[in-house]
Chain A
Amino acid sequence: MRHLLLTFFLLLGSLAGAQQLPEVSTILDKEVVATFQSLPIQEGGRIKPLDTYARFLLLRMHGKQSIAVKHDQLPNHKKLKAVEWLLLSWFRPDIARDLPLFVVDNSQAVGEIGVDPKDLRDRYSWNEIVKGREELIKRAQAYNDIDSAQQTGVQRNVINLARNFFDYDATSDFMTAARTDWKKEINSILSPALAKEISGDAANLSVWDLALKLGTMIRENKIQGGSEESQKILNLFIDTTLRPGKTLAFIPPDDAKEEAWLQVEQTVTNLMREGKISEGELAVSKARDGLYPASLKAETFKTAVKAFVADIRARAEKRNELSQIDREVSYHRTDYFTNALVWYMLGFLVATLGLVAPQSKLSRWTTRIAWITVLLGVGYNVWGITQRCIIMGRPPIATLYETIIFIAASCALVGLFIEKVTRKGVVLAVVGFVGALGMFLSNRFMALDGQDTMPTLEAVLITNFWLATHVTCINIGYAGALLGSITSMVYVIFRFLTKGEPSVEFRRLLTRITYGIMCFGLLFALVGTVLGGIWANDSWGRFWGWDPKENGALMIVLMGLVILHARLGGYIREIGLHALSLLLGAITLFSWFGVNQLSIGLHSYGFTAGITLALNIGYSTKFAFMLACGWFWLQERAAKKVAA
């Protein structure tokens, strides 16, 4: 019995194999890939390059923007870029479905659907998951009915896996309609009369001819859902054409006033319903199908791809929607923030090396090198932010991701200014550290979020004036408070490591630096908070509503004011200032990320679980250093008593 089935599948396979498949080298040709990267498409309400779409699709499913491969059919590749992976999925799904794509955090989730689990956190291919397909649907639906706060981690894993699996299932069928021999299918499914009516005398039948005919016949009631053969052909049509056709909106509408780009699914249904669609939309839709026969030969494919992409780009340009596409491709290719991470890190290491032997020849050299590397880090950081502003045509901060890269850059710039003034090398190390940490966190955040970092904004946020003033001020305030708390940490570390008179002088300098940064941060936090109130008053008619986010900002301001007045009143000196500055740092973390976690409460998970963990590490670090301050204080008091 088993053998029989096997033969049957082999037969089926050979039937499918009768259709030719393009060579991998043709599909992954460098020029082809580069051309596809710059194809404009619409997703999430904005026009973006296919490259961005592929990157974030892969990131969501795979947890990374590239995929490591080890496959017999891909002997020349160790790693595929996002677009390469997408093209392989379109043109060679037989290979792509073998790649370990879906990341599953808890192997119990795949165990539940009857798939053999691998490591606790591991990646599975389409071919592995497809065995549990039915169970996956059933479980995911059941789990979806559970209130999201009550879902367990494994249940969320199952829901995510289902979403990713079926999205990818459709994506990897993107070219199937073009690959299908419709004439043969129709002859084998429909009665000769109906088949004849559909295909006529033509030697080939494209999906577009079929859609047109099907539409007419449905309207004339010649094909009805009731009959078995009709149902069969409709199902095949839906499965190969409509379902995968929903995955990508790459067809610019001919009507200039229409903002939404079309998907093949829409053009096909429009054609079936109306009997005709506008010329350009049909041409682009058909051009996609033309890519398949072209892909069978390397020479024809390159030409076809170029023509296809150039055509869509020209249409987009006519609609004034092309201007930022190439910039965005280059933005992602340059990977500003990873570069910044490397330079910041290097700067931190070199500057720290210099601190070991202050005032030496070595330290003079390390300082010079650290300056250059840190400046490169800041340069990449700031230039990356600038590129984003240009692409989106709005001020730098509107999402949580953007606060991270912005705050890192602000800390770095403020730090560099202070280093310029104090010239001790220590702030240079701090800048390198903060910058590298910021870049690292932004990268982790993006991976956890798994979404395009340049989303369209909710209505109330679309106001450049307030984004530029209130949001920027508040984030500079956060930056000041955080940088201040980090110099306080340096103080604590330094105090543990050194003794003696020169160290006292240096400690005093650190204290002044901390105080200065904190006041700078307070100025911006205060003005930013009040500006936020004014914005709220302009948007909703209330200046202050005790909303958690507002309260978070207020807490930073209040803590800053406490420190300021405690210092003025002589209640705190060195240790006190640093202890409170550390507390201010903890409050800032709470305000920045902590309040967002409140609504989720105890049932944190996945994405937010990562943030909760990071937050808890942040809080604990600050409190540990505060404890150290307490210890210093006791020490000093004991010393005074002895002296007395």
Chain B
Amino acid sequence: MSASSKSLPAKIFDLLSSYGLAIIVLSFLLIITYFGTLSQKDIGLLDSQAKYFESWFLIHEWNLWGMIVPIPLPGGALLMVLLFINMLCGAVIRIRKGWRTIGVLISHIAIMFMLAAGFVSFIYKTEGAMPLFEGQASDQYQSYHERIIEIRQWGADGKGTSTARVIPMKHFSDLEPGRARTFFAKDLPFELQVTAYRRNANIVQAGEDEKSAIDGYRIQPVANAKEDEANTAAVEVSVKFQDGTEQRGILWEREFEPFTVKVGGMSYTLALSRMKWKLPFAIRLNDFQRELHPGTMKAKKYTSHVTKITDGREEPKVVTMNVPVRDQGYVVYQASFSQGTSGEQSVFTVASNPSDQWPLWSCVAVAIGLVIHFMMHLVRFLSRALKPKVA
């Protein structure tokens, strides 16, 4: 073999483009998919997704007849990056190009495109819920998981600013009790210290002699719900004014009103809530229909008759299962419904994803590539198998 005579970059390229790497990466993906699926039973979907599939490395706790064995494994993100590189080097750059390999080439490029689509949507996709009662309208959707601390300014006349400052979850979700971080912004007349973040908590009235109480209340941590949507986070904030004084408050996801501080004739509201995104159009729910299979309580169809309002222009639309409404890069889906005391509420999922349709194109390309390839194989297999008969 001439391996020893090769330069280091060439050796690295050989490694990256090898079948061996492909096999290893795919096998590990298989293993983490298996473990990630099993773990959903214990830690819920969101956490298992973060731990197994969106990570670089992870330690799987393998329950071997009651004994916990820690197994270090590569994470999904690492494996997918490696897979991408492997395909690029092996199936695109190194592959012998010709009619015999055209199917392989097409399908690999398509799969790479699909991985890219996943990456783009991981970074840029926003997704949330928009629940509407009949007659209600909205032009924003609220994230399922992304918590934020938002600060909004109000004038003496009671008018609020049209934007709110937002601290994203990744900047404060690590602030367990005992850890704090201070946030500031250019024309904000105070600094904000954040601490004691709890992913799931209740607010309870504190006993009178509790020193840690804020305004007579304290955060009472609650065990995390399996489905993250059911968690209600809480956090302690301390607003530090320029004159050295400070005002403490508790922010809670389920609070009815925000925490307010006053400085220099202005009021500032602080709230812990889910991220909301604005749509370039509004949706008004006119009529929600739920069809049942006759004589049963089994749903046959959910249909929302809505009006899409774009800059005052109104358009009637119908959103139903499997048939979303798309416009300007946003897609509005019929997700579910809820029946409360105040009537029927239709719940839409709204998503904005630049790579929304990429998987579709990629699927078509994969299918074409594989069909070409396997057809060629089949023809060869058949001609070989039938040879004795022909001869």
Q: Which residues of A contact B (CB under 8 A)?
A: 42-46, 249, 259-261, 421-422, 456, 458-460, 462-463, 466, 512, 516, 519-520, 523, 526-527, 530-531, 533-535, 537-548, 551-552, 554-555, 558-559, 561-562, 565-566, 568-571, 587, 595, 598-599, 601
Name B259-284 residues within 8 Å CB distance of A. none
7 interchain residue pairs of minimum CB distance? A45-B293, A569-B19, A541-B351, A259-B294, A260-B294, A530-B363, A558-B30
Residues of B within 8 A of A458 (CB): 298-299
Given known contacts A562-B26, A598-B38, A533 and B19 CB-to-CB distance under 8 angstroms: no
B41 near A601 (CB under 8 angstroms)?
yes
B294 near A45 (CB under 8 angstroms)?
yes
Residues of A within 8 A of B333 (CB): 539-541
**Contact among A534, A558, A565 for B359, CB-based, below 8 A:** A534
Given known contacts A558-B29, A569-B20, A598-B38, A530 and B293 CB-to-CB distance under 8 angstroms: no
Given known contacts A45-B298, A530-B366, A558-B29, A459 and B36 CB-to-CB distance under 8 angstroms: no
Closest residue of chain B to A249 (Cβ to Cβ) is B295
Least Cβ–Cβ distance between B216 and chain A, in angstroms: 38
B385 near A565 (CB under 8 angstroms)?
no
Q: Which residues of B contact A (CB under 8 A)?
A: 18-20, 22-23, 26-27, 29-30, 33-34, 36-38, 40-41, 45, 48-49, 53, 114, 117-118, 121, 127, 292-296, 298-302, 321-324, 331, 333, 335, 349-351, 353, 356, 359-360, 362-363, 366-367, 370-371, 374, 377-378, 381-382, 385-386
Residues of A within 8 A of B299 (CB): 458-459
**Contact among A534, A542, A595 for B351, CB-based, below 8 A:** A542
Residues of A within 8 A of B30 (CB): 555, 558-559, 562, 587
A-B contact pairs, 6 of them (CB 8 A): A421-B381, A460-B322, A527-B366, A540-B335, A546-B36, A546-B49
Residues of A within 8 A of B351 (CB): 541-542
A422 near B296 (CB under 8 angstroms)?
no
A565 near B33 (CB under 8 angstroms)?
no
Residues of A within 8 A of B363 (CB): 527, 530-531, 533-534
Least Cβ–Cβ distance between B262 and chain A, in angstroms: 41
**Contact among B40, B114, B301, B323 for A530, CB-based, below 8 A:** B114
Residues of A within 8 A of B331 (CB): 541
**Contact among B41, B296, B356, B371 for A599, CB-based, below 8 A:** B41
Given known contacts A421-B386, A562-B26, A523 and B370 CB-to-CB distance under 8 angstroms: yes
Beyond the given A459-B300, A546-B49, could you list 10 further A-B residue pairs with CB under 8 A, ordered by the A residue number? A422-B385, A456-B298, A460-B321, A535-B322, A538-B323, A539-B333, A541-B333, A551-B37, A555-B33, A565-B19
B45 near A547 (CB under 8 angstroms)?
yes
Least Cβ–Cβ distance between A255 and chain B, in angstroms: 12
A516 near B381 (CB under 8 angstroms)?
yes
Q: How far is the CA of A434 from the CA of B79 in the complex (A)?
A: 37
B360 near A459 (CB under 8 angstroms)?
no
Q: How far is the CA of A550 from the CA of B53 in the complex (A)?
A: 14
Given known contacts A533-B359, A562-B26, A571-B19, A543 and B295 CB-to-CB distance under 8 angstroms: no
**Contact among B18, B294, B367 for A527, CB-based, below 8 A:** B367
Residues of B within 8 A of A261 (CB): 294-295
**Contact among A44, A548, A570 for B293, CB-based, below 8 A:** A44
A459 near B302 (CB under 8 angstroms)?
yes
Residues of B within 8 A of A249 (CB): 295
**Contact among A456, A523, A547, A595 for B296, CB-based, below 8 A:** A456
Closest residue of chain B to A549 (Cβ to Cβ) is B37
Q: How far is the CA of A261 from the CA of B296 in the complex (A)?
A: 11
Residues of A within 8 A of B377 (CB): 516, 519
Given known contacts A456-B300, A523-B370, A543-B359, A462 and B294 CB-to-CB distance under 8 angstroms: no
Residues of B within 8 A of A44 (CB): 293, 295-296
Least Cβ–Cβ distance between B235 and chain A, in angstroms: 28
**Contact among A466, A526, A559 for B366, CB-based, below 8 A:** A526
Closest residue of chain A to B320 (Cβ to Cβ) is A459
Least Cβ–Cβ distance between A483 and chain B, in angstroms: 16
Given known contacts A463-B322, A519-B377, A534-B359, A565 and B23 CB-to-CB distance under 8 angstroms: yes
Least Cβ–Cβ distance between B18 and chain A, in angstroms: 7
Least Cβ–Cβ distance between B355 and chain A, in angstroms: 8
Residues of B within 8 A of A570 (CB): 19
Closest residue of chain B to A422 (Cβ to Cβ) is B385
Least Cβ–Cβ distance between A55 and chain B, in angstroms: 19
Residues of A within 8 A of B19 (CB): 565-566, 568-571
A539 near B322 (CB under 8 angstroms)?
yes
Least Cβ–Cβ distance between B109 and chain A, in angstroms: 14
Least Cβ–Cβ distance between A311 and chain B, in angstroms: 20
Q: How far is the CA of A555 from the CA of B333 in the complex (A)?
A: 28
**Contact among B41, B45, B367 for A545, CB-based, below 8 A:** B45
Q: How far is the CA of A542 from the CA of B331 in the complex (A)?
A: 11
**Contact among A462, A535, A599 for B300, CB-based, below 8 A:** A462
A565 near B121 (CB under 8 angstroms)?
no
Residues of B within 8 A of A569 (CB): 18-20, 22-23
B293 near A544 (CB under 8 angstroms)?
no
**Contact among A456, A523, A534, A551 for B360, CB-based, below 8 A:** A534
Least Cβ–Cβ distance between A523 and chain B, in angstroms: 5
B324 near A541 (CB under 8 angstroms)?
yes
Q: How far is the CA of A559 from the CA of B34 in the complex (A)?
A: 11
Closest residue of chain B to A262 (Cβ to Cβ) is B295
Residues of B within 8 A of A466 (CB): 322
Q: How far is the CA of A512 from the CA of B381 in the complex (A)?
A: 9
Residues of A within 8 A of B293 (CB): 44-46, 456
Residues of B within 8 A of A463 (CB): 321-322
Q: How far is the CA of A257 from the CA of B385 in the complex (A)?
A: 61
B381 near A459 (CB under 8 angstroms)?
no
Least Cβ–Cβ distance between B15 and chain A, in angstroms: 13
Least Cβ–Cβ distance between A53 and chain B, in angstroms: 13
Closest residue of chain A to B30 (Cβ to Cβ) is A558
A548 near B37 (CB under 8 angstroms)?
yes
Q: How far is the CA of A333 from the CA of B360 in the complex (A)?
A: 44
Q: How far is the CA of A547 from the CA of B36 in the complex (A)?
A: 10
Given known contacts A456-B298, A565-B22, A537 and B41 CB-to-CB distance under 8 angstroms: no
B295 near A551 (CB under 8 angstroms)?
no
Q: How far is the CA of A599 from the CA of B298 in the complex (A)?
A: 22
B37 near A598 (CB under 8 angstroms)?
yes
Most buried by B among A546, A562, A599, A601: A546
Q: How far is the CA of A46 from the CA of B37 in the complex (A)?
A: 36
Closest residue of chain B to A571 (Cβ to Cβ) is B23
Given known contacts A520-B374, A540-B333, A542-B351, A459 and B321 CB-to-CB distance under 8 angstroms: yes
Residues of A within 8 A of B40 (CB): 546, 548, 598
Residues of B within 8 A of A42 (CB): 294-295
A538 near B322 (CB under 8 angstroms)?
yes
Q: How far is the CA of A43 from the CA of B296 in the complex (A)?
A: 8
Least Cβ–Cβ distance between A538 and chain B, in angstroms: 6
Least Cβ–Cβ distance between A583 and chain B, in angstroms: 10
B370 near A527 (CB under 8 angstroms)?
yes
B294 near A565 (CB under 8 angstroms)?
no
B117 near A558 (CB under 8 angstroms)?
no
Q: How far is the CA of A593 from the CA of B33 in the complex (A)?
A: 17
Residues of B within 8 A of A601 (CB): 41
Least Cβ–Cβ distance between B148 and chain A, in angstroms: 21
Closest residue of chain A to B86 (Cβ to Cβ) is A565
Closest residue of chain A to B38 (Cβ to Cβ) is A598
Q: How far is the CA of A551 from the CA of B385 in the complex (A)?
A: 36
Residues of B within 8 A of A459 (CB): 299-302, 321
Least Cβ–Cβ distance between B54 and chain A, in angstroms: 9
Least Cβ–Cβ distance between A398 and chain B, in angstroms: 13
**Contact among B114, B300, B349, B378 for A541, CB-based, below 8 A:** B349
Residues of B within 8 A of A43 (CB): 295
**Contact among B22, B37, B362 for A595, CB-based, below 8 A:** B37
Given known contacts A249-B295, A527-B370, A562 and B362 CB-to-CB distance under 8 angstroms: no
Q: How far is the CA of A260 from the CA of B377 in the complex (A)?
A: 54
Q: How far is the CA of A520 from the CA of B378 in the complex (A)?
A: 9
Closest residue of chain A to B107 (Cβ to Cβ) is A526
